[in-house]
Structure 1
Amino acid sequence: MDKSLRLLKFLPVLIIFFLFPLKISADFEENSFITIVNPVRISHTTKNPKESLLAEYNEVKKRSLPATWLLTYDALKNKGIVELTKSMDSKQEFGIFLEVSPDFAQASSVSYNLADSWHRAASIFLSGYTQEDRIKLINKVMEDFKSLFGYYPKSVGSWWTDAFSLKYLEEKYGVIANLSVSDQFSLDEYRVWGTYWSTPYYPSKINASLPAKDLEEKIDILMLRWAARDPVNGYESPTEASSGMYSLQDFASIGLPFSYFEKLLSFYALRKDNNQFGHVTIGFEGDMPSNFYSGHYAQMLETVSNLNHIKILTMRDFANWYKNEFKGISPPQIIIADDFLDTGKKGIWFQNPNYRIGLLYDSKKKRLTVNDFRIYHKDFEEPFLKAVNRQNGLFISLPYVIDSIIKPDTKWVLPCGDLPAGRQDFVSSNKEKEVFLLNFKSCQIKFLDRSVELEGNIEPPQNLNLNSSINVKKKNNILSLSMEEKWIVPPEGITLNVQNLRIPFGLKRRFPNLPGFALVCFLIALALLLKVFKKKTIIFIPVLFLLIALFFKQKLYISQSEFEALMFLKDMPVGNVLVLDKDCSRCVFHSEFKPAAAAGYKKYIEKYGQKKIVQSLNFSLADSPEKIDREIKKARAKYIYFAKYEDYIEILSYPPENISNKLKKVFENANAQIWQII
Structure 2
Amino acid sequence: MNAAVYPNNVNIINFIRGVEPREPINLLEPVQEQLALVQKHGLPASWLLQYDALINPAFTDLLKREADAAQEIGVWFEVVQPLAEKAGIPWRGRYAWDWHAHIAFSVGYTPEERERLADVLMEDFRAIFGYYPRSVGSWFMDAHLLGYLSDRYRIVASCNCKDQWGTDGYTLWGGYYNQAYYPSRLNGFMPAQTEEGQIPVPVFRMLGSDPIYQYDAQLGGNGQSVITLEPVYSGDEGGGGIPEWVRWFFDVNFRKEQVSFGYAQVGQENSFGWDLMKDGLIQQVELLASKRAEGVLKVETLAESGEWFRAQYPVTPASSLVALTDWRHEGRQSVWYYNRFYRLNLLNNDGELWIRDIHLFDERYEERYMNAVCLDKNSHYDTLPVVDSARWSDKLTSAGLRPVSYDAAGKAVPVVVQAMETDESVSGELAIRIRLEGERTLQIRCSERSIAFSANWTGWGMQLAWGDTPELPQMELEANAIRYAFNGYPYKVELEHNHPPEVISDLGGKAAGGVEIRAVGSELTIVV
Is TM > 0.5 for Structure 1 vs Structure 2? yes
Which amino acid is 2:402 matched to?
V
Match of 1:61 in 2: 39
CA 1:460/1:49 → structure 2, altered by over 3 Å: closer, same or farther? closer
How many Å apart are 1:420 and its aligned residue? 7.2
Match of 1:415 in 2: 404
Which whole-Å deviations, capped at 9, do the CAs of 1:472-503 have from their partners, x for residues lacking one?
A: 2333299799xxxxxxxxxxxxxxxxxxxxxx
How many Å apart are 1:152 and its aligned residue? 0.5
Q: Is the 1:46–1:52 Cα contact (8 Å) retained in structure 2?
A: no
Which whole-Å deviations, capped at 9, do the CAs of 1:30-80 have from their partners, x for residues lacking one?
A: 611111000000223564443442222111222221000000111111111
Match of 1:517 in 2: none
- CA distance in structure 1 between the partners assigned to 2:132 and 2:335 by the alignment: 40
Instruction: Determine if the alignment matches structure 1 residue 381 to structure 2 residue 360.
Output: no
- CA distance in structure 2 between the partners assigned to 1:99 and 1:211 by the alignment: 23
Q: Is the 1:339–1:346 Cα contact (8 Å) retained in structure 2?
A: yes
Instruction: Determine if the alignment matches structure 1 residue 118 to structure 2 residue 98.
Output: yes
Match of 2:381 among 396, 406, 413: 396
Which amino acid is 2:198 matched to?
K
Q: Is the 2:402–2:464 Cα contact (8 Å) retained in structure 1?
A: no
Instruction: Determine if the alignment matches structure 1 residue 203 to structure 2 residue 183.
Output: yes
CA 1:72/1:480 → structure 2, altered by over 3 Å: closer, same or farther? farther
Q: Is the 2:232–2:277 Cα contact (8 Å) retained in structure 1?
A: no
CA 1:235/1:422 → structure 2, altered by over 3 Å: closer, same or farther? closer
Instruction: Count residues in correspondence.
Output: 452
Match of 1:247 in 2: 228
- CA distance in structure 1 between the partners assigned to 2:17 and 2:189 by the alignment: 25
Q: Is the 1:420–1:439 Cα contact (8 Å) retained in structure 2?
A: no
- CA distance in structure 2 between the partners assigned to 1:317 and 1:165 by the alignment: 22
Q: Is the 2:231–2:277 Cα contact (8 Å) retained in structure 1?
A: no
How many Å apart are 1:239 and its aligned residue? 9.1
Match of 1:40 in 2: 16
Match of 2:423 in 1: 427
Match of 2:261 among 277, 283, 290: 277
- CA distance in structure 1 between the partners assigned to 2:344 and 2:476 by the alignment: 14
How many Å apart are 1:352 and its aligned residue? 0.7
Q: Is the 2:184–2:191 Cα contact (8 Å) retained in structure 1?
A: yes
Match of 1:301 in 2: 285
Q: Is the 1:453–1:478 Cα contact (8 Å) retained in structure 2?
A: no
Which amino acid is 2:300 matched to?
L
How many Å apart are 1:379 and its aligned residue? 1.2
Instruction: Determine if the alignment matches structure 1 residue 470 to structure 2 residue 470.
Output: no
Match of 1:154 among 134, 144, 153: 134
- CA distance in structure 2 between the partners assigned to 1:46 and 1:225 by the alignment: 30
Instruction: Determine if the alignment matches structure 1 residue 353 to structure 2 residue 340.
Output: yes
Instruction: Determine if the alignment matches structure 1 residue 330 to structure 2 residue 316.
Output: yes
Q: Is the 1:49–1:81 Cα contact (8 Å) retained in structure 2?
A: no
**Higher mean C-alpha displacement, 398-407 vs 334-343:** 334-343
How many Å apart are 1:199 and its aligned residue? 2.0
Structure 1 SS opposite 2:385 = coil
Q: Is the 2:102–2:109 Cα contact (8 Å) retained in structure 1?
A: yes
- CA distance in structure 1 between the partners assigned to 2:183 and 2:434 by the alignment: 34
Match of 1:105 among 75, 84, 108: 84
How many Å apart are 1:111 and its aligned residue? 2.2
Which amino acid is 1:35 matched to?
N
- CA distance in structure 2 between the partners assigned to 1:261 and 1:470 by the alignment: 37
- CA distance in structure 2 between the partners assigned to 1:158 and 1:190 by the alignment: 12
Match of 1:173 in 2: 153
Which amino acid is 2:403 matched to?
L
Which amino acid is 2:287 matched to?
T
Instruction: Determine if the alignment matches structure 1 residue 458 to structure 2 residue 465.
Output: no
Which whole-Å deviations, capped at 9, do the CAs of 1:375-399 have from their partners, x for residues lacking one?
A: 1122111111110011111211222
CA 1:232/1:314 → structure 2, altered by over 3 Å: closer, same or farther? same
Q: Is the 1:444–1:454 Cα contact (8 Å) retained in structure 2?
A: yes
Structure 1 SS opposite 2:114 = helix
Structure 2 SS opposite 1:133 = helix
- CA distance in structure 2 between the partners assigned to 1:176 and 1:312 by the alignment: 17
- CA distance in structure 2 between the partners assigned to 1:293 and 1:60 by the alignment: 14
Q: Is the 2:231–2:280 Cα contact (8 Å) retained in structure 1?
A: no
Which whole-Å deviations, capped at 9, do the CAs of 1:517-553 have from their partners, x for residues lacking one?
A: xxxxxxxxxxxxxxxxxxxxxxxxxxxxxxxxxxxxx
- CA distance in structure 2 between the partners assigned to 1:103 and 1:470 by the alignment: 48
- CA distance in structure 1 between the partners assigned to 2:512 and 2:213 by the alignment: 30
How many Å apart are 1:89 and its aligned residue? 0.9
- CA distance in structure 1 between the partners assigned to 2:420 and 2:329 by the alignment: 19
Which whole-Å deviations, capped at 9, do the CAs of 1:338-390 have from their partners, x for residues lacking one?
A: 33222101111111111111111123xx3211111111122111111110011
- CA distance in structure 1 between the partners assigned to 2:56 and 2:281 by the alignment: 23
- CA distance in structure 2 between the partners assigned to 1:464 and 1:335 by the alignment: 32
- CA distance in structure 2 between the partners assigned to 1:165 and 1:40 by the alignment: 21
* TM-score for both structures, normalised by structure 2: 0.79
Structure 2 SS opposite 1:237 = coil
CA 1:55/1:418 → structure 2, altered by over 3 Å: closer, same or farther? same
How many Å apart are 1:286 and its aligned residue? 2.2
- CA distance in structure 2 between the partners assigned to 1:430 and 1:61 by the alignment: 38
Q: How does 1:546-585 map to 2 (within 5 A)?
A: 571-572=510-511
Which whole-Å deviations, capped at 9, do the CAs of 1:563-601 have from their partners, x for residues lacking one?
A: xxxxxxx94279xxxxxxxxxxxxxxxxxxxxxxxxxxx
- CA distance in structure 2 between the partners assigned to 1:177 and 1:96 by the alignment: 11
- CA distance in structure 2 between the partners assigned to 1:127 and 1:233 by the alignment: 29
Q: Is the 2:9–2:262 Cα contact (8 Å) retained in structure 1?
A: yes
- CA distance in structure 2 between the partners assigned to 1:407 and 1:217 by the alignment: 30
How many Å apart are 1:121 and its aligned residue? 0.2
CA 1:238/1:145 → structure 2, altered by over 3 Å: closer, same or farther? closer
Match of 1:597 in 2: none
- CA distance in structure 2 between the partners assigned to 1:325 and 1:95 by the alignment: 23
Match of 1:184 in 2: 164
CA 1:239/1:152 → structure 2, altered by over 3 Å: closer, same or farther? closer
Which amino acid is 1:91 matched to?
A
Whose strand proportion is higher, 1 or 2? 2
Structure 2 SS opposite 1:400 = strand
CA 1:171/1:404 → structure 2, altered by over 3 Å: closer, same or farther? same
How many Å apart are 1:122 and its aligned residue? 0.3
Q: Is the 1:33–1:280 Cα contact (8 Å) retained in structure 2?
A: yes
* TM-score for both structures, normalised by structure 1: 0.62
RMSD (Å), alpha carbons: 2.8
Match of 2:328 among 323, 328, 341: 341
CA 1:288/1:435 → structure 2, altered by over 3 Å: closer, same or farther? closer
Q: How does 1:425-504 map to 2 (within 5 A)?
A: 426-431=422-427, 434-441=428-435, 442-456=441-455, 457-459=460-462, 461=464, 465=477, 467-468=482-483, 469-476=492-499
Which whole-Å deviations, capped at 9, do the CAs of 1:435-491 have from their partners, x for residues lacking one?
A: 33222233221212112222232246486846311122333299799xxxxxxxxxx
- CA distance in structure 2 between the partners assigned to 1:359 and 1:105 by the alignment: 44
Q: Percent identity?
A: 25
CA 1:480/1:360 → structure 2, altered by over 3 Å: closer, same or farther? farther
Match of 2:470 in 1: none
Choose between structure 1 and 2 for higher RCO, CA contacts under 8 A separated by at least 6 residues: 2
User: Unaligned regions of 5+ residues in structure 1, if any?
Assistant: 1-26, 482-569, 575-678
How many Å apart are 1:198 and its aligned residue? 2.1
- CA distance in structure 2 between the partners assigned to 1:49 and 1:435 by the alignment: 45
- CA distance in structure 2 between the partners assigned to 1:185 and 1:358 by the alignment: 17
Match of 1:95 among 60, 71, 74: 74
Which amino acid is 1:63 matched to?
H
CA 1:47/1:246 → structure 2, altered by over 3 Å: closer, same or farther? closer
- CA distance in structure 1 between the partners assigned to 2:503 and 2:449 by the alignment: 11
